[in-house]
Chains A and B, each alone.
Chain A
Amino acid sequence: MDRQEETKLRVARQFIEAIPHSRALGMQLDALSDGSAEISMPYDLRLVGDPRTGVIHGGAVSALMDTCCGAAVMSHPDAPAGTATIDLRIDYMRAASPGQRIRAHAACYHVTRTVAFVRATAFDDDKDHPVASATGAFTIERARKDDPA
């Protein structure tokens, strides 16, 4: 990683970790490159959805997926000024193992002038069997030009 990329990652990391809800869930930006992102979050007893098994609630996984997809859009070379989720579908393949960190990877697989189509997958320590996958459409907000050409 060259110095410019390192700076970019550091700035993005600070940006994501400054989002109150991402901070509340302990999210950490692990990687960011043109149109793709990796974000992880630690196992946390406060996020448990089933007290009998200690499995994290699907809603917390949704929050991780949404953040990761948004970060992927923001890192796209087209450099959107902002993004918002239009829709997000999550498939829950299996329960995340209690005690393990959850890592999400998201990538924009198609981007138009106005919409980014994103896919994401989440894993715990078992790298062969995803915990959840997601597909979403996100807005691409352009910086407003002061004097249109």
Chain B
Amino acid sequence: MSTPPTTPRKRPEPVQMVKSRRDAALRALVTGVPYIQFLGIRFDRRGDELTAELPFDEKLIGNPLLPALHGGVTAAFLEVTAIIELSWTLLWEDMEAGRIDPVTLDPMHLPRLPKTIDFTVDYLRSGLPRDAYARARVNRSGRRYASVHVEAWQDNRARLLAQGTGHFLMPPAGPISARDD
């Protein structure tokens, strides 16, 4: 006869509940920003890993003769990916620790976003008139400053379109609410 463990492990939440909570948090972060919608950027999530997708659109062209993506679009795509990755990393910790409930999040009730201090883009190839993808990595995330690296590609993951590094000012820590500051 087996004896039940003295401290029974907490029953894991149903997978669908976990997924829908994480997707809701990501949606709140992304859909509330008009500029992300303007460019048409979407985020694909696998666990905590995000991949940004920029579906090709005529209005993203910078050189109609080639045609090629506008350098400013490439820069913006990298920067958006970096900020969302950094915000997502902060949000993830609070969400998984149960400090925030994503159901209460909407564009006007989001944690404050990090502010860009500077951003450097290294253009490696001309952007083709196709979809582009990007992933960012938070290399350092301190109390006040963060450094994020981001890579973008099109057809081949190994042939980068561009890479970038940005420094960000972290939002002040504190309870999440729509503060009027």
Contacts and interface: CB of A to CB of B under 8 A. Distances in A.
A48 B32 CA distance: 10
A85 B116 contact: no
Given A62-B75, A87-B122, A19 B62 contact: yes
Contacts of B123: 84-88
A66 B32 contact: no
Contact of A59 (B35, B58, B122): B35
A48 B75 contact: no
Interface of A: 18-24, 45-52, 56-60, 62-67, 70, 84-92, 95
Interface majority SS on B: helix, strand, loop or mixed? mixed
A62 B166 CA distance: 13
Given A20-B64, A67-B71, A84-B126, 6 more contacts: A18-B64, A57-B36, A58-B79, A62-B79, A67-B62, A70-B71
A103 to B, nearest CB: 16
Nearest to A135: B120
Given A91-B117, A92-B117, A20 B76 contact: no
B70 A92 contact: no
B175 to A, nearest CB: 16
B71 A84 contact: yes
Nearest to B113: A50
Nearest to A27: B72
B138 to A, nearest CB: 18
Given A47-B38, A50-B113, A63-B72, A58 B119 contact: yes
Interface in B100-119: 107-108, 113, 115-119
